Structures are given as C-alpha cells and as structure tokens.
Structure 1
Amino acid sequence: MLVALELLGLAAFAASGAFAAVWARLDVFGVIIIGLTTALGGGIIRDVLLGINPPTTLRTWPYLAVSAATALLVFAFHPVLARLRRAVLLADAVGLGLFAPAGTAIALNAGAPVYTACLIGMTTGIGGGAMRDLLLREIPLVLRREIYAIAALAGAVLVAVGHQLRWPPIPVTVGAAAVVVTIRLVSLWRKWNAPVARGTGRPAGE
C-alpha cells in the first residue's frame, strides 16, 4: 500500500515540477531534472533522516522510471495541457496528500517517535516542492502565505493518531491523504492564507 501511494505521489509531484519547468522555458533535460527533483526530493530527505542509505528512491528503479516518464509526458504534451494551469496546483496537492501520510507511516514503521514521525512526514510532503522552487529561483511555496505545510502536518498527525490508537493502517493513511488534499484545495479555492507579520516593509534607506 505504501509503495502504491509513493508511486502515485511521485507521478503527481513529477507532473507539478515538469509543468513549472515547462513554464520557466527549460529544455527537455531541465524539465526532467526538475520533475525528478520535485518527485524524489522529499523521499530522499526522509530516508536520510531515518538513516536509510542509500535512499529508497535511488535504489529502486520504478521510482526513477515513473518520475522521469511523467516529466517526459508533460514535456511532450504541454501544448495540450497549457490551458490547464490549475493542473499544477491539483497535481501538487495530490502529491502532498500522498507523500505526507505515507512518509509518516514509513517513519513510524522504522521505529521513529510519534512527534519525529510527524515532522518527517511533513518534510516528506514539502521537501521536493521546496527544492523545485529554489531551482526555479522562486520563494518556496511552503514559506509563502498559502496553507501548505499546515495541510501536510495535519495529515501526518492523523496517521500518528491512528497508529497510537491501533486503527487499521490502510484506511487511516488513505483518509489522511484525502484530508490533506481537501485542506489544500479548499484553502486555494477560498483563498485562505496563513497570517504574516504586519509592517513588514523594508526600513527606509535599505
């Protein structure tokens, strides 16, 4: 189940990274690299934190194949998909929803404490997108006002609670993924934002 969720999350994140790279007018190699980075970055960070060496996504060929193939498909068919700019946000939300709960479950199965597993799950969800934005010279989405990391953390906490209460892991993980996607999409639809500090303009003379 976790492998299936990870593969779906990889495809979703690879698509979001490839879309962003196409719109940044990168060549085919750049599109593939950004797609791979977005898809694999969070999982690599997770495995490094859990001491899994080499990271799972770098020693299991389907992870690389799914990510690269998805990026190539986006590159090849982006003229058809160009009108669907919301597809990036949808793919990113799906990837976030699949990765954060799955990352939490993997951390719990590896024996990590509950609070550590929640943080690792959140990082799994947001890590690849943050690396994508940095490579494209943008402020990472997780650091902006939009509800992003909070949604990932909510899904991670739900998985951890289910683990503590000994609920069936598969329904809990799937339910947590649905909650993350729902929070992310509703926040975009309703334009919900996290608060920012007031009076954040630069002082005069800077």
Structure 2
Amino acid sequence: MTSQIFPSDVQQSLDLAGIFVFALSGGLLAVRKNMDIFGICVLAEATALGGGVIRDLVIGATPVAAFSNFGYFVTPLAAALVVFFLHPEVERINRAVQTLDALGLGLFCVTGTAKAHDYGLGAVAAIALGMVTAAGGGVIRDVLAGEIPSLLRWDREIYAVPALVGAALVAALIGANRLTGATGTAAALTAFGLRMLALRYGWRAPRAWHRNGSRTSEE
C-alpha cells in the first residue's frame, strides 16, 4: 500500500506528533474564545482529527482511523489539558507551534493523498483529499469557533496552497511509481518549506480583480 510510506512505528509517531500540535492550535483558539474545558477538548479533537475523518468517510475507510486507533483519539485530549493548564506558556512559544504545525501540514497532505489513492481515487480526487486531510481540521475548528476559516481569508498567510503543492507532488510520484519514504519526505518538506516561507514573508493568495484589471482595494 502506498499510504504506508514510512515504517509503521515511525508513521505512528509522526501521526501522533502532528495530531498533538494541531490539537494545541485548536485548544488555544478555544481559550481565546473563552471556552470551558469541554470546549477546549472539542476544538482540540476537531482540529487534530477533522481532516482525517472527512477523508476516511469519503473513501469509505470505516471505522475511521480517528476512532479505531486509541492513541489518535486520546492525544488531542492530552494537548487540551496542556493548553488548559499552561496556555500562557504555549502562547509564548507560538512561533515554535506554528513551525510544528507546518510540519504536520506537510506530513498529512502526503499521507492523506497516498491513502486516498490506495482506495481507488484518481489523481485529482486524491490531491483534493490530501489537502483536506492537512487543512480540514482547521476549517472545522474555525467554524465551531464562529470565525471565517483562516485558509479562506486573504489577510492570512497561505495554508492550503502548500498542502495542495505537497499533495500534487505525491500524486505525481505515485503516477511515476516513485513514491518511497525518501521522496514522500521530500514532498512533505516542500509543503513545510512553502508554509514557513509564507509565514516569514507574509505570502497571501491574490484577491479578486475588478473587471478593468485593477485589484480590489477593499480590506
């Protein structure tokens, strides 16, 4: 199976690390929204597992991994407790959290695309689900918190685009029968690098243009 890009124990460790960091971002948003412990746990779970749940439901991989793997379900709860007790400290290392989040983005767009391919989807659909795996949890988090999803906002650095690039690279590697641990890692690092460059230089996706060719000026 192409979705098993890395050895199983390595894959498990990487998945849990990515899930933990995604859950931290969900928990931090819950704190900013003045939610209680239950709300913190819900946003942590939704952020960490939402994209994978959507992917597994679409491809028919049931029961979904988020509920069939005990570690996947419990890890966001551990992150929620960290945020509940130590959120000021976590906020202070937000740059490190963003870096780890970018690593998780790269990992999940790769493994999500490969798993979708294993279940018979074509390249375009697999790429789309790879992006959803990486970014879908953040969309669910923002919707639950009553915000416009970050990846749809022009004033936020690009997030879905790096995931899309990473997923497209994986699809191309699968098509060329070249997807291995090394090439999969390279695709994940490409998505990671694009996200970090976006954070460093404030890269944003273009907004709509007027019909006369000038860009919109509305904020």
Normalising by structure 2, what TM-score? Answer: 0.85
Distance in 1 between residues matched to 2:179 and 2:127, nearest whole Å: 18
CA contact (8 A) 1:6 1:102 kept: no
Distance in 2 between residues matched to 1:178 and 1:16, nearest whole Å: 21
Distance in 2 between residues matched to 1:169 and 1:111, nearest whole Å: 19
Mapped pair 1:187 → 2:204: no
CA positional deviation for 1:87: 4.1
Mapped pair 1:121 → 2:147: no
SS at match of 1:52: coil
SS at match of 1:82: helix
* Residue number in structure 2 paired with 1:199: 216
Distance in 2 between residues matched to 1:91 and 1:21, nearest whole Å: 19
Distance in 1 between residues matched to 2:191 and 2:82, nearest whole Å: 26
Distance in 2 between residues matched to 1:153 and 1:19, nearest whole Å: 25
Distance in 2 between residues matched to 1:85 and 1:138, nearest whole Å: 20
Distance in 2 between residues matched to 1:23 and 1:87, nearest whole Å: 18
Per-residue deviation, residues 140-172 of structure 1 (Å, max 9, x unmatched): 011012311111110001111111222242122
Distance 1:93 1:22, change over 3 A: same
CA positional deviation for 1:67: 1.6
SS at match of 2:205: coil
| Amino acid aligned to 1:110 | Y
Match of 1:93 among 90, 95, 102: 102
| Amino acid aligned to 2:198 | S
Distance in 2 between residues matched to 1:74 and 1:89, nearest whole Å: 15
Match of 1:107 among 102, 116, 120: 116
CA contact (8 A) 1:12 1:94 kept: no
Which is worse superposed, 123-132 or 168-177?
168-177
* Residue number in structure 2 paired with 1:72: 81
| Amino acid aligned to 2:99 | L
Match of 2:34 among 2, 19, 25: 25
CA contact (8 A) 1:96 1:126 kept: yes
CA contact (8 A) 2:207 2:216 kept: no
* Residue number in structure 2 paired with 1:14: 23
Distance 1:139 1:87, change over 3 A: farther
Distance 1:17 1:87, change over 3 A: farther
Per-residue deviation, residues 55-114 of structure 1 (Å, max 9, x unmatched): 111122110011211221222221322322334433432221221111001112222211
CA contact (8 A) 2:170 2:179 kept: no
Distance in 1 between residues matched to 2:114 and 2:203, nearest whole Å: 28
| Amino acid aligned to 2:143 | L
Identity of aligned residues (%): 41
Normalising by structure 1, what TM-score? Answer: 0.90
Match of 2:172 among 141, 146, 161: 161
Which is worse superposed, 123-132 or 19-28?
19-28
Distance 1:138 1:196, change over 3 A: same
Per-residue deviation, residues 4-34 of structure 1 (Å, max 9, x unmatched): 4322221121111112212222111111110
Distance in 1 between residues matched to 2:144 and 2:206, nearest whole Å: 26
* Residue number in structure 2 paired with 1:44: 53
Match of 1:176 among 173, 178, 187: 187
